[in-house]
Each structure stands twice: as structure tokens, then as C-alpha cells.
Structure 1
Amino acid sequence: MEKTVKEFLNKLGLTDDEARLYLVLNQSGPLSVLNLSRQSGINRTKVYRIIESMQRAGIIEEIIDQHKKLTKAVSIDTLELLIKEQESKTKYLRDTFPTVSNLIAGQKAVSQPGTKVFFYRGAEGVRQQVWNTLKTKEELLGYSYRPLSELIGKYYEEWYEEWIKRNLKMRDIFSDSYIEGKKSLKQKIDSLDFKSRNIISRYIPSKMLNITHQMDIYNEIVSIYHWHEGEIFGVEIYNEKVANMQRQLFEMVWRMAGKLK
């Protein structure tokens, strides 16, 4: 039980020593600094510093009892209030992030003009690449190699929900490797993952175009993902001419592709 409470306090932002002091105060009631030091096993000088930090955080408070200064743990109701404050901060960060992201990206573009190339390694890097596509301004054009869910798992669902929420547009071409991937995941082939009018998919046989990696074209970016036999990497190319040429090639393949029969 103590371990569960300690983990909760750590998640709330307390250090191990702060959590230890809180648990001692919660079990023993108000204590002097000397007794708190003895019961917690933390030296007295350090206890003074920790108390100051915890008071600022609103986790403990000082009281005067018979002319003695004692320290006590705050009530459960106060902890709940602190949780609500953290929830409010998290909501603010989530709501403000798109604006801040655009501002930072704008500054970066000014300080680093011209072509940029970013490399990503591993599933974690590819997750970042996939999330970057949410910056699509007009329409994303893509070649689907295999179901992204087999690479990034449930994170794919988070990305898809955000894509729908932002009402973004996509045209997508898939081939036989994608169908094989769906079968290996025991998913319905005709579902094609997408349930939005803003996302249109077409099929092209591998004998016409063998799609061997994932590619997304959006804004001035060409984003390439590759995963095969344990090798996972991605590349983002920021160049308007490269992106425009890839768009032209995509339109040629799009006209050749059609519905899956």
C-alpha cells in the first residue's frame, strides 16, 4: 500500500525524500523537525530544505501547537485540488502547443532557410514523423507500404483521431504489400483503416508498382518511412521542388490506380 501511495506522490511531482516525509507525517501526525528527521531517516539540515520546498508546493503546512512549531501533511482534499491544478496546466499546454509549435517552426525556418533533411531511427522516431503529418495545410498524398499500426501500435489510433478532429485531407495509394500486412494483423482488407470522407484510397497491383516503403507528400515535405526485418528508419526532406515533383508522379500513379476488386 505504501508503495502505491509513494508512486502516486512521485507522479504528483514529489521527489523520493519529499514522498517519504509526507508518508511519515500522514502516519504520525504533526511533528517537529527533529522528530521528522528521526522517523524519516533524513538528516535534519536536509529536512529543513525539503520542508521549504514542500510548503511552496502546498503539500505540507506548519502549525503552532503549545508554542512549538510543527509540520503536518495537508488533507486529501488539498491533494485533489493539486491534481486539478495539474490537469488545468496539462490542458493549457495541450491547447497552446499548436500555436507555440507554429511559432517555433517559423523561427526555425527564418534561421535555417533552404533545404533541410531530418533522419529518424526506430519506432519512436517514426512516431514523431507520423505526428508531423498533422501539420498538413491542404492535402496529403501518400503511398501506404504496410499498415502503420504494425509499426507504431495504438499510437496510430491517437494519430488518426487527431487527423479526423483537424478535418485534414488525404489521398492514399496502397498495393499488395499493404493487403498482406492487413492479413497478418487479421484485419479486414476492405476496411483500409480509414472511415473519413476526407481520406480516399486507391489500389494498384504490385506488378504495376511495387510499393516498398511508406511515403507522404505534404506542404513542402516528402516524408519517407521504411521498416523491414528489424530495420526501422525515416527521412524528412524539406524542399518545395522535390515535393512538387513527387506530387506530379503521384498524380500519374493515381490515374492508374483504382478500387480494390
Structure 2
Amino acid sequence: MDKITLYKLGLTKQEVDIYLSLLENETHTIKEISQITGINRTTTYRYIQSLENKGLVKWIVGTRGKIVQIFPVDNLETLLNSLKRNIKEIEIGLPELLKNLKQIQPVKRYQNQVRYYEGVEGLQQMIWNNLSINPKETSRSYTVFRRREFINPKFEDEFEKEWVRRRLKDHVITNEDRFEYINKRLVGAYRTESLDIHIIPKKKYYITNDILIYNDVFAIMSLEKGNLLGVEIENEEIAKTQRSIFDLVWSIGSSYKKNE
């Protein structure tokens, strides 16, 4: 028996089982259908109603009381023609529906997610997450430029090369004692093509950890020996506030190139 075609006509598995049981015996009571198919009696009523709406069965009153009778199988062709008409109506109305749906703007909800990371692998994941930034935007970072002291240098090289490959940009604020690290330990193209670095004196703004601000994420990492941990807060308003603070600090810093 080709049940697949019946499924394609819109019948569920339970409806197919009921339909075939009636096909073998033409009429059944609800109790008999339930016993044959294993579908409980309450649910069977619902499936019979659906088959009746499809024009495949009907209720009759017989010597055994109210029973279900199957229509001739030719009614399957009638059902198919009905489906064709429905599809045609959908094809006609779909362009206008799509036009109207595209005009509906989704309600923007605050995202309140906090993610905690720990250890070398955890911080590596946080760093790699920064690559998800919208390419049209600029990442913002405070950094002590000490990642390579705690994280595998090969991973950091891979991250910096991937950042360059994706043509991402980062505004970076650091203190004045990190010139040697910037010149000698960063991947060349990452330093020259991807980063715009501003220097701010420790006396004005002392940076002791790494902070990343991108998309709707505000992330902070502690780079202390034996205490490597980090937290990502994903919230549009928090990220917006932190970007404003960063831009204020950025405006009072001096360009790294002026200090070379």
C-alpha cells in the first residue's frame, strides 16, 4: 500500500491508519477503529472529524448505533482537486502577502545574556568570539597587550591573521609602557592594517585587563597568573553605554603613530 501518496494529500499517519482500516471493512464504530489502530477513542473522534472535512468519510446511524463509513476512493481525486485550487489561490495571494510581511518590523527586545569563561581555553573562546563583529563596524578594545604571556602564542598569531583576512578593524586603547610589545610581538599586518591604537597615560586611565566592545557585547578578561577568567555581557544598552565611555577616553588619548 502506497501510504506516501496519502501523506502528500495531507493525511496524517493516524488518519491514514483509520482510512485504511475503513477501506478494509467500509464501516466501523469508534470503539472498533480505536481497537484496530491503537489510537485512543477521544483522539479518534478528532481524526474522524478531519477525514470528514476532507470528504473521505461520513457518519451514519446503523444497527450498531453511530458508525463511520468511508466514501468511494474516487473522493481522493476530489481532495486532490481541492488542494490544487488552494495552491492556485495561494500562488495568487502570495506576492501581496510577502509585500505586507516585509513591511512589518519585528519588536526589538533587549538581550540579557551573561556568559562566564575560565582558564586558557575559555579566554581563547572569548577572543575568537570577537571575530563575529559586524564587518561594517569597528571593534573597541582596552588592552594591556599581555595575552601572549598566558595564551598560546600560536593561537594569538592565528587570531590576528584571521582578523586581517576578514579585514576587520579595531580601535585600541593602551598605556604608554606597551610600545615594545606592539612593535615586536604583534603580527605585522595586524598592527599596521587592522589596529588604530591610542595611548593614554597610566596616571589618567590605568588599564589592568582586556575589555572588548563589539556588536551588543561588553566583554572583560582578567589576565592574572592563576586567575584567568572572563565574562561576556550581551545587552544592547550596556554595550552602547560602554562604547560612549570608550569614545570619550579615545578622544583624550594620543595616536600611537605620533609616539613611534
Amino acid at match of 1:254: W
Rg (Cα) greater in structure: 2
Partner of 1:128: 125
Partner of 2:166: 166
How far, CA to CA, are the matches of 1:173 and 1:220 in structure 2?
19
Partner of 1:254: 250
How far the C-alpha of 1:198 sits from its partner, in A, is 3.3
Partner of 2:82: none
Of 201, 222, 229, 1:226 maps to 222
Amino acid at match of 1:136: I
RMSD of equivalent CA atoms: 2.6
How far, CA to CA, are the matches of 2:184 and 2:254 in structure 1?
19
Change over 3 Å in CA distance of 1:192–1:174 after alignment to 2: farther
Partner of 2:139: 140
Identity %: 31
How far, CA to CA, are the matches of 2:186 and 2:119 in structure 1?
29
Q: Provide the secondary structure at the position in 2 that maps to 1:210.
A: coil
Contact persistence 1:169–1:199 (CA under 8 A) = yes
Contact persistence 1:179–1:189 (CA under 8 A) = no
The 5 Å alignment of 1:89-108 reads none
How far the C-alpha of 1:232 sits from its partner, in A, is 0.5
How far, CA to CA, are the matches of 1:250 and 1:130 in structure 2?
19
Between the two proteins, the alignment pairs up a number of residues equal to 146
Contact persistence 2:161–2:190 (CA under 8 A) = no
Amino acid at match of 1:119: Y
Amino acid at match of 1:161: K
How far, CA to CA, are the matches of 1:115 and 1:254 in structure 2?
27
Contact persistence 1:147–1:178 (CA under 8 A) = no
The 5 Å alignment of 1:1-261 reads 114-137=111-134, 138-152=137-151, 153-176=153-176, 178-179=178-179, 182=181, 188=184, 194-260=190-256, 261=259
How far, CA to CA, are the matches of 1:160 and 1:189 in structure 2?
11
